Structure 1
Amino acid sequence: MSIVRIENVSKRYQLGEQEVVALHDVSVAIEAGEFAALAGPSGSGKTTLLNMIGCIDVATSGRVIIDGRDVTGRNPDELADLRAHTLGFIFQTFNLLPVLSAEENVEYPLINIQSVPRAERRKRVAYFLDMVGLGRFAKHRPGQLSGGQRQRVAIARALATHPKIVLADEPTANLDHASGEGILQLMKQINDHQGTTFIFSTHDARVMAMANRLIRISDGAIVGEEVNP
């Protein structure tokens, strides 16, 4: 069974008197364990599609099915619960809380998950900071870290909830070449070793080359797919 199914999804916005079509009748399925990239220029609809998968935005029409659950018509609490337990997010701007340390940022999404006690939270925080190579920077705040290190904290935070799917929106956009390359290699290792599904929105050629599946989007529609061996 596909871990993500998008069925005939359209998304329209009202901009004053003008209707803007961000997605038009998009259908795609992504299997568990894929390292997939949604690729296209700015304004193509790739981030809108990623937001649909992340239950951050709601389709105007069509169905979005995440891990076997149809999210159409779900209330905000149900969507928040699905995001907390099934999805992890990595953003190009890192989205770390500047007043919190690296370890506190990683722990933050776990605090409202009642099934994860404090001792387990601390264990996960230490484990994932070590995984991304930042164990000795646990007490550092984001302002004391480089861009690449901040993105590593963001990856640890995304993984701490044990998500089945990690969504990454242009995760290399604000990094230099060496840092971006290191972040990509780290995410691919996690994908290979843990089987976590990664879905990117990107126009970075390095991400496209590393993806085992490339879904090309233009003007709100899927215009092609490529499978990399």
Structure 2
Amino acid sequence: MKVVHFENVSKDYTLGDSQVYALKNIDLQIEDGEFLAIAGPSGSGKSTLLNLIGCIDIPSSGKIYINNQDTSGQTPDQLSELRARTIGFIFQTFNLFSVLSAEENVEYPLLQFKELSAAERHARTVKFLVIVGLSSFAHHRPNQLSGGQRQRVAIARALATQPKIILADEPTANLDHKTGEGILQLMKEINRNSRTTFIFSTHDAKVMAMADRLVRIEDGQLVEENDNHA
């Protein structure tokens, strides 16, 4: 099943008097359970592509289907609901709340799911802290954790909503080589065990090598796709 389907998608922005074409005529399909890397130089359109998949932005033209839902014509509230329940985000800067513990950071996105009781939220939070190997750090705040541990909290938070898709924007960029490799192995393990689709925006050769498929983008256009297992 396709969890992401782009049909002839373009995105442009108006900057002063000029039009900037961030993406041009993108056709892309991503299957359920893929471990996919999007690579390209800075300014190539990687982040725009990720923002469109994440329903943070909308295309100027073309159609985008996320988990079989046509996103065109949806209201901001509908897109927000789709994003909350379908997509998890992992950022290079971790984006954790400094005043909350690891456990509270992981639980935070679940607060908008009114159907979950406090006990269910707690059980889910504990489960994902165990998966990322941080159950003994549940009550630590981000400033008491290493960079790798913070990124593990961010992964647990992204997984807590049980999304179909996780978008990872340069997730290893702020980590040393060894820690970054451990984080990648963890994400690959989660991908294999839970069939969660991972989509990376990256410059990191290790991420590209580990991906099932590599999509290259330059000047807003897809230039190449490699199946790493072919």
Q: What is the TM-score normalised by the length of structure 2? A: 0.98
The residue number in structure 2 matching 1:11 is 11
Q: CA deviation at 1:73?
A: 1.6
For 1:165 and 1:115, locate their aligned partners in 2 and report how far apart those are by CA, in whole Å: 21
Counterpart AA for 2:55: C
Q: Give the Å deviation of 1:115.
A: 1.6
- Aligned ranges 1:116-155 → 2 under 5 Å: 116-155=116-155
The residue number in structure 1 matching 2:65 is 65
Tell me the residue number matched to 2:211.
211
Q: Where does residue 91 of structure 1 map in the other structure?
A: 91
Instruction: State the shift of 1:116 in Å.
Output: 1.5
Mapped to 1, the partners of 2:191 and 2:172 lie a distance apart of: 17
CA separation in 1, counterparts of 2:39 and 2:206? 11
For 1:28, the equivalent position in structure 2 comes to 28
**Alpha-carbon distance, 1:150 to partner:** 0.4
AA of the residue aligned to 1:99: V
Is 1:165 matched up with 2:129?
no
| TM superposition shift of 1:195 | 0.5
Deviation per residue, 1:12-67 (Å, 9 max, x gap): 01111111110011110000000001111111101100110000011111111000
- In the TM superposition, residue 134 of structure 1 has moved relative to its aligned partner by 0.6
The separation in 2 between residues aligned to 1:17 and 1:142, in whole angstroms, is: 43
Cα distance in 2 for residues equivalent to 1:173 and 1:58 = 27
For the residues of structure 2 that align with 1:181 and 1:120, how far apart are their CA atoms?
32
Q: CA deviation at 1:221?
A: 0.3
Structure 1 equivalent of residue 227 of structure 2: 227
Cα distance in 2 for residues equivalent to 1:117 and 1:228: 42
Question: Distance in 2 between the 1:35 and 1:222 partners?
Answer: 18
Establish whether residue 50 from structure 1 lines up as the match of residue 37 from structure 2. no
Secondary structure, counterpart of 2:72 in structure 1: coil
Residue of structure 2 equivalent to 1:195: 195
1:183 paired residue number: 183
User: For the residues of structure 1 that align with 2:181 and 2:57, how far apart are their CA atoms?
Assistant: 30
The one-letter code matched in structure 1 to 2:161 is T
Provide the residue aligned with 2:39 in structure 1.
39
Q: Which runs of 5+ in 1 are unaligned?
A: none
CA offset at residue 117 of structure 1? 1.3
Distance between the aligned counterparts of 1:185 and 1:113, measured in 2?
Answer: 30
Q: Confirm or deny that 1:102 pairs with 2:88.
A: no
Other structure's SS at 1:167 match:
strand
SS at match of 2:2: coil
Match of 2:57, SS state, is coil
Number of residue equivalences: 229
State the secondary structure of the residue aligned to 1:159. Answer: helix
Q: Deviations over 1:144-199 (max 9, x none)?
A: 11111000000000000010111101100111101100000000000011110000
